A and B are shown apart, each in its own frame.
Chain A
Amino acid sequence: MLKLGGGGQDWACSVAGTGLGGEEASFEVARLGQRGKAGSGGPGWGCAGIPNSAPGAGMLQAGAGGPALEGQGVEEVGTPEGGGEERPARHPPAPALRLLNRKPQGGSGEIKTPENDLQRGRLSRGPRAAPPASGMGDHGGQPERSAPHAPGTPAGVGAAAVNGLLHNGFHPSRLCSRGPLGGGDAAPPRLPLQPELQPQPPPPQHDSPAKKCRLRRRMDSGRKNRPPFPWFGMDIGGTLVKLVYFEPKDITAEEEQEEVENLKSIRKYLTSNTAYGKTGIRDVHLELKNLTMCGRKGNLHFIRFPSCAMHKFIQMGSEKNFSSLHTTLCATGGGAFKFEEDFRTIADLQLHKLDELDCLIQGLLYVDSIGFNGKPECYYFENPTNPELCQKKPYCLDNPYPMLLVNMGSGVSILAVYSKDNYKRVTGTSLGGGTFLGLCCLLTGCETFEEALEMAAKGDSTNVDKLVKDIYGGDYERFGLQGSAVASSFGNMMSKEKRDSISKEDLARATLVTITNNIGSIARMCALNENIDRVVFVGNFLRINMVSMKLLAYAMDFWSKGQLKALFLEHEGYFGAVGALLELFKMPDDQ
């Protein structure tokens, strides 16, 4: 399981985020050793890595803390969210003024009693099995502003990562009620962060401090035609936010000296952790090392957190005065549009919105071109129709056109790509990763993508599905259908007896197989219609999902009689974010 960090991490972040008092608070918490408490109250990315999973996690916490959750941790620490924010010192003048009116709202709702807090803290540390209920803190969990958009979706502190870095980060009060399951097994290294968590001195109140900052930043990145650090690319999807961060490794001593604290803390925080808040995760295994981007050498980091934590993230951006570093953030995905206004009004950040399909393709081509730390990015499965001999093999995608690109996120988009900038969206389907997880949650009560996949790995879909042989007693020769082919997904579930005899694992497996085969089938038809024989599957539905990859490889090969090849890429879901980052380098200097 990729769930890292656990409660500890959250906690660390949350503490860090409590504003001016953060420092003391963090120590205090640490002393108390009540990680759980802190965690729950913390800004953590509310969900366990996968947005969908969030609910489950949230439930646990919710059950524990009840509606009261939020803010309690904070209070205990002595920094209620609202109060903390109001401290003038935390905010740079300009944004602060704007934010002042708003913060209290959030804060007010979140104040809880200490008892609750304690309770919550304890529970959140408990084993994940706990949960109950209803209660979850729907209300509590939601960031004030998110409510209209995503009712019932506790906003994790999306910003946690940034938060952590920026010390002031986020409101502890708003936690995503769905925390990572159980809290943490692996306590993330908190201490190293502490030094960076120091609150920043408030920027001078006189004229245009932000501008000065910007100018300085520009110098920081070393060259005028280069955008200022930090370099982020962001892809805000329906379920997950994908964030890539370029960590410069060629920083000179002089540069380091000039680097503002804010910037440095971001860098240190992001690169020295693998989990941020409750639900933010850095996919360490995907890190691209010794990369040269825009003239700088460094490493590219891949981070994801659930979209429901977006508001936390924005909030933190505001609190950390992110806008003083960098006025423009390159973002793609539907969320770039959905949250644009919030970024601007809450965090004084201007999003540079980018088309998600453009970004996807540019990002993919780029990552493939640089390779995966010396290994190929692209691979396929040899002997896909023979389970014993089927194995992963590198594939050279140097001449990728034309390709059919199947992007499997919450939903699925299918593109025909003819050249770097000649492509069309062929079609899409709403039966995607979101459907798999959504149905699995309903059918099995599972809470996370990881959990759903784990169940699926153990299950047997043939108990659930009606096969050709269940109907015809064997192969349906008239149509050349094998007896083992699925005739009707979930078809056996028409019978009550069979409904009573299957396991949750079987259901999870059937759901996975159904969704995967359907995508395969649509992709195959599109490939035929577009006369393309290479089908590249990307997107986070494939993350840690070998079952689906092999099924797709099998389906492409079998149904096309070997004419179609299914290809996969190591950085599955991150191409949109990489594409967004690439756009940053293209932006005019004065942006």
Chain B
Amino acid sequence: MSWPGTFKMAECGASGSGSSGDSLDKSITLPPDEIFRNLENAKRFAIDIGGSLTKLAYYSTVQHKVAKVRSFDYSGKDTEQDHEPPYEISVQEEVTARLHFVKFENTYIEACLDFIKDHLVNTETKVIQATGGGAYKFKDLIEEKLQLKVDKEDVMTCLIKGCNFVLKNIPHEAFVYQKDSDPEFRFQTNHPNIFPYLLVNIGSGVSIVKVETEDRFEWIGGSSIGGGTFWGLGALLTKTKKFDELLQLASRGQHTNVDMLVQDIYGGAHETLGLSGNLIASSFGKSATADQEFSKEDMAKSLLHMISNDIGQLACLYARLHCLDRVYFGGFFIRGHPVTMRTITYSINFFSKGEVQALFLRHEGYLGAIGAFLKGAEQDNPNQYSWGENYAGSSGLMSSSPELCPTQRARSGTFDLLEMDRLERPLVNLPLLLDPSSYVPDTVDLTDDALARKYWLTCFEEALDGVVKRAVASQPGSVDAAERAEKFRQKYWNKLQTLRHQPFAYGTLTVRSLLDTREHCLNEFNFPDPYSKVKQKDNGVALKCFQRVVSALDALDWEERQLALVKGLLAGNVFDWGAKAVSDVLESDPQFGFEEAKKKLQERPWLVDSYSKWLQRLKGPPHKCALIFADNSGVDVILGVFPFVRELLSRGTEVILACNSGPALNDVTYSESLIVAERIAAMDPVIHSALREERLLLVQTGSSSPCLDLSRLDKGLAVLVRERGADLVVIEGMGRAVHTNYHAALCCESLKLAVIKNSWLAERLGGQLFSVIFKYEVPAE
């Protein structure tokens, strides 16, 4: 099975690259729908040519089919038609911006340039930004092939721009390397403020750069002992020519045969003196002899230690001098090589005594290309937007450790891809997070928890058939729906297999990332909203029940009503097509309704039950403003959330109702919520006046995920939350309140509620299927 996102080039065969020629470089076939995608709309190019790899960046637009919902125009007819859907759905084309990054070996540069020229339709492009040591060498070739003027950009400026960009836009971009743990990568949540930091770029030499702001950075030092020293000296000592081969030699060697250790000098006494005998006292200290042969492996290992230790020591000295504790390492010496990450990490830990952390970047290889691109695109203000890694189009991080993954070594000749989507709206932290720098959205780290990982991967595999079926069914008029759905299946299946072997490929593996990857893959094959029809129908049915439900609630006395409202929220939450246990029921029993769902619920006391505390709180003064994150369409939002909102409004609490910007499963989207609210307002004066008086505000989250990352929310939402002084956050649903945010600490009151619709998870939490989580939390004073 090939790694998703990487494509092996045919060793030989028909030239797919257009122009004739007999050089071997040209005899490759590039699948246009997989590599260099969207070239026809490519608008801006940048290229980073390193010693062995070329990274090409381009900006392009992607046409997507998007399901739009629109209210019927009721002006002509005021009679409710029971069989009519509440709104209409139309599929429209939408253009979104995407950044494409492709990494390939320099050998293929000519073939790739030919390919690009042949597929480049947009003729407005006149310039290509170029950086990297090889930019000069290939300048003429690029200008000739692409008919673009090469604009050379400063290497370090590009590197830092790229670094800032990935740190801001890609969650789990940075990781620490932990040897002997499985997996070896431990991803870091993005710090809200990425500055200041130290970037140590280990190319042929070492540059140490202090980055203080987006535009301000300073070269504070460097060292001539770097990757070139390892390579050059290694080649002299071992007669091994290739960098990778040297690393392989090193990974098999014993440096103690070549290095003079403390114990060689102190004998056994080092123990009583509290010295570590294994410390290297003098690198190559034992090789000062002509009468002994040293193995290539041992010398390579000694050299690797010497250079890694030296770089680590200097990095620590500079970090200390500038009071920085975050040090990112990049450059070809590091580039995905576990061997070097291991030795650098060891060295940093040793010299800083744990005060400085060696951090590595998943997309380190792309920094220069990203930065060069950003330089050229400054007029488009790419930094004003938020961007998100597209899991469907990106290759993910490969372990290139020869020990860990022998097959990876055969990757040369393949392409590595990164795609990033421009998000419609800038994303920011929820202002109510207690400590944004320590906030971790996900409850379970599946990279860590092998058991959970196995379960969820299997779970997603098993659900795949259903998703495919649903996708096909959502586009009855489309001739190629089945074909596309099949492609989707293959793609997502491959992703799941990759993640089984390399759970670290896209950062920390979580239920959220599995769900998001599925959404990205569906979008990739133009299934923007497979549940649009289901949601439409569910919303229609639920709207019809709204008045009955509200009247019943109104008839209850205050205390009974509070419990009923909460149960309504919970029962609504049962309607989740994302949960297999539920979708099975819903598929087989179309009549399954609100009342049936209530019966499924666990009796009190619930699995997590702070209802009494909540009730007590309700007896007190009303909240100023509640921020509610809604979950599913239909019963959930209409019969669960809206009556609850209505009660809050009646108490004098303002409500911000936040729904997803884009579709995910049967979650209610912002545009659907607008229609639903409008329809409810037509029936209910409380909602009606609240909307009119802006005491009820509908906003979008900025997300298209069934889960919720409170550190990446729509800026408008954040502004509103601040303006209105929200003092209560209600998070509903398994995806938002259990898979994510279960442990999220907020600086205001919060209510997290969900019905566990997965027996495995229920068991893990100590409950059963349809156990109830009702978690009301008040921050410590």
List residues of A whose CB falls within 8 A of some B CB. 51-56, 58-59, 62, 131, 133-136, 138, 149-150, 152-153, 177-178, 237-239, 333-335, 337-340, 409-411, 427, 429-435, 437-443, 445, 447, 464-466, 471, 478-481, 485-494, 496, 499, 507, 514, 517-518, 521-522, 525-526, 528-529
Contacts and interface: CB of A to CB of B under 8 A. Distances in A.
A435 B306 contact: yes
A492 B232 contact: yes
B558 interface: no
A466 B204 CA distance: 9
Contacts of B602: none
Nearest to A513: B224
B287 A441 contact: yes
B265 interface: yes
B285 A494 contact: no
B497 interface: no
Closest 6 pairs (CB-CB, A-B):
A55-B289, A493-B232, A338-B267, A438-B284, A434-B282, A52-B288
The CB with the most chain A CB atoms within 10 A, among B203, B227, B228, B259, is that of: B228
Name which of B223, B226, B279, B283 has the most chain A CB atoms within 10 A of its CB. B283
Interface string B574-599: 00000000000000000000000000
Nearest to B267: A338
Interface residues of B, number: 63
B267 A337 contact: yes
A514 B225 contact: yes
A480 B232 contact: no
Nearest to B259: A430
Nearest to B232: A493
Given A435-B306, A487-B204, A489-B228, A521 B314 contact: yes
Contacts of A340: 269
B291 interface: yes
B289 A490 contact: no
8 contacts: A55-B288, A55-B291, A58-B290, A138-B291, A334-B262, A486-B224, A507-B236, A522-B314
A447 B288 CA distance: 7
A525 B318 contact: yes
Contacts of B258: 438
A499 B156 CA distance: 29
A466 B205 contact: yes
Contact of A339 (B204, B226, B267): B267
Given A410-B260, A466-B228, A478 B157 contact: yes
B280 to A, nearest CB: 4
Nearest to B203: A488
Contacts of B237: 442-443
B228 A491 contact: yes
Nearest to B272: A337
A410 B282 contact: yes
A466 B228 CA distance: 8
Interface of B: 133, 154, 156-157, 203-205, 207, 219, 221-229, 231-233, 235-237, 241, 258-260, 262, 264-270, 273, 279-292, 294, 299, 306, 309-310, 313-314, 317-318, 320-321, 351
Contacts of A131: 290
B289 A529 contact: no
Contact of B281 (A51, A411, A427): A411
B282 A149 contact: no
Given A238-B282, A526-B317, A441 B288 contact: yes
Given A466-B228, A489-B232, A493-B232, 6 more contacts: A55-B292, A430-B280, A434-B284, A441-B288, A488-B227, A529-B321
Contacts of B266: 334-335, 337-338
A465 B266 CA distance: 35
Nearest to A559: B221
A488 B286 CA distance: 25
A261 to B, nearest CB: 34
A494 B154 contact: no
B282 A441 contact: no
A438 B285 contact: yes
A54 B279 CA distance: 24
A521 B221 CA distance: 9
A296 to B, nearest CB: 33
A525 B285 contact: no
Contact of A499 (B236, B273, B280): B236
B290 A55 contact: yes
B313 A441 contact: no
B306 A491 contact: no
A431 B235 contact: no
Given A238-B265, A442-B294, A494-B232, A489 B225 contact: yes
A464 B232 CA distance: 9
B322 to A, nearest CB: 10
Given A410-B260, A487-B224, A136 B313 contact: no
A445 to B, nearest CB: 7
A493 B235 contact: yes
A464 B55 CA distance: 29
B288 A525 contact: no
A93 to B, nearest CB: 29
A488 B204 CA distance: 5
A525 B269 CA distance: 31
Contacts of B228: 466, 487-491, 493-494
Contacts of B204: 466, 471, 487-488, 491, 494
Nearest to B243: A494
Contacts of B205: 466, 486-489, 491
A62 to B, nearest CB: 6
A445 B221 CA distance: 34
A35 B212 CA distance: 70
A488 B224 contact: yes
Contact of B292 (A152, A410, A490): A152
Contact of B287 (A58, A439, A464, A466): A439
Given A62-B291, A429-B310, A335 B282 contact: no
A427 B224 contact: no
A335 B204 CA distance: 38
A442 B224 contact: no
A532 to B, nearest CB: 13
Nearest to B136: A473
A437 B287 CA distance: 8
A494 B207 CA distance: 19
A431 B292 contact: no
A438 B306 CA distance: 13
Contacts of B282: 238-239, 409-411, 430, 432-435, 438
B290 A441 contact: yes
B285 A491 contact: no
Contacts of A51: 288
B217 to A, nearest CB: 10
Given A337-B266, A466-B228, A443 B288 contact: no
B78 to A, nearest CB: 71
Contacts of A55: 288-292
Contacts of B156: 478-479
Contact of B289 (A52, A491, A521): A52
Given A337-B267, A439-B284, A518-B223, A488 B232 contact: yes
Contacts of A58: 289-291
Contacts of B281: 238, 334, 410-411, 430, 434
A242 to B, nearest CB: 14
B285 A522 contact: no
A434 B261 CA distance: 11
Contacts of B133: 471
B418 to A, nearest CB: 26
A431 B267 contact: no
Given A410-B285, A430-B281, A529-B320, A496 B241 contact: yes
Contacts of A491: 204-205, 224, 226, 228-229, 231-232
Contacts of B268: 338
Nearest to A410: B282
B228 to A, nearest CB: 3
B273 A337 contact: yes
Contacts of A134: 291
